[in-house]
Amino acid sequence: MSTTLDPTDYPLSVQRPDLLRTPTGRPLAEVTMAAVVSGEIRNEDLRISPETLKLQGEISDSVGRRQLAENMRRAAELTAVPDEEVLAIYNALRPRASSAARLAEIADRLENDYAAATCAALVREAAQVYAARDLLAREGD
């Protein structure tokens, strides 16, 4: 992304709608009630795009909200992961819900199947913290 954003660009839908596109590539300006009623707009057009989430992260970084920016980058990666799998990962990350091996498997799948390296790093970090705090499920549980 070559655009540099700062707090004056927030909210993007008001200040920089020219940068926003749906996941199918439609400009935000084309997402109108008339287009929805006519069927021109599909369900996929009503989801947030990974690019929009990355732009939100850039604005968060510009005001020193590093953790929020990281959350936005992880959310951008998760747009490629099927909803059912996101929910399964969420459940697997509960304390004592998964073994170290299971969390490693999830991290590897995120990284290798979905190019979600930031999310994979978070799962690996969770596994380390859970191990240190005795919050992992026992093998075979």
Q: pTM, whole model, 2 decimals?
A: 0.88
CA distance 128 to 137: 13
pLDDT, one tens digit per residue, over 30-82 is 999 999 999 999 999 999 999 999 999 999 999 999 999 999 999 999 999 99
Q: Which residues sit opposite 21 in a β-bridge?
A: 27
- Residue 16 neighbours by CB under 8 Å, 6+ apart: 5, 9, 55
Residue 42 is given by DSSP the state: -
Whose tokens are 């790093």? That residue is 121
pLDDT, one tens digit per residue, over 102-126 is 999 999 999 999 999 999 999 999 9
pLDDT, one tens digit per residue, over 14-32 is 999 999 999 999 999 999 9
Q: Whose CA is closest to 35, among 48, 20, 22?
A: 22
**pLDDT band with cut points at 50, 70 and 90 for residue 1:** very low
Res 138: pLDDT: 83
- Residue 86 neighbours by CB under 8 Å, 6+ apart: 78
